[in-house]
Amino acid sequence: MKITEIFYKIFCVISLTYAAIGDKITIVINNICYFFGEGMPAKRLITEDKILEAALQTVRERGFEALNMRDLAKKCSCSTQPIYLCFGSAEKLKCAVAKKIAQAFNEFIENQIKSGEFPEYKAIGMGYIRFAAEEKEFFKYLFMRNRTEEAEFEKDSFDKSTFIIMKNLGLYKDDAYLLHAEMWIFVHGIAAMIATGYQKWDGELISRMLTDAYKGFISQIKNGGNK
């Protein structure tokens, strides 16, 4: 007889007599089963996906800095052992969560572009601000922290947006880069105000503001700025 079968039979006997503590015993047995890699009901397994789902929910509720192994284990109704077995360390877990957050942002922007509600470049800006409104803590983690070591990522993002402007407006690269830099600062300012609760999401108003700013910056560039 497998060790997990022995534990499970013991649990069945105890749970019939002490139903009130049955769930806590189940958690202990699940952890033992997970450690030995032996079968228990599938619904009781603590999977990597379940851990990440709980971690993302923690970030949504309390921010990325609140993420820790002990609280996450409690949220998953297990000990920290299954989490360490899946990810190896708290740092690796946080890296996995960070990738999920970045993936969520990229998919959000792609969906905004594919919706066809706005031209591609404007859709990126509107999506950026909407993401700040709908996923405040995700936005804060991605765009309101020290990202000095991620300069290359930002450069790639700027290059892609600059190319879109060059293609749409026929501007030289330097002018297109300047236009995007000005728009980026403007868009980020609105998004940061919404993410911190200083301003509320108003799609119609924000759309108009972005259009006005875009036209104004283009006019300045084409007229030689304030030279």
Instruction: Look at residues 128, 134, 89 and name the one whose alpha carbon lies nearest to residue 109.
Output: 128
Q: What is the pLDDT of residues 108-133, one digit of tens each?
A: 999 999 999 999 999 999 999 999 99
Rounded Cα–Cα distance for residues 115 and 112 (Å): 5
pLDDT in tens, 183-221: 999 999 999 999 999 999 999 999 999 999 999 999 999
Ranking 6-10, 46-50, 94-98, 137-141 by mean pLDDT, the lowest is: 6-10
Comparing CA positions, the residue from 124, 120, 101, 132 lying closest to residue 169 is: 120
Tokens of 144: 């309101």
Inter-axis angle of helices 120-134 and 90-114, nearest 10: 130
* pLDDT tens digits, 39-60: 444 344 789 999 999 999 999 9
Quick one: DSSP state of residue 117?
S
> Residue 98 pLDDT more than 50?
yes
The dihedral built from the CA positions of residue 146, 185, 121 and 112, taken in this order, carries a sign that is positive
Mean pLDDT taken over the chain: 83
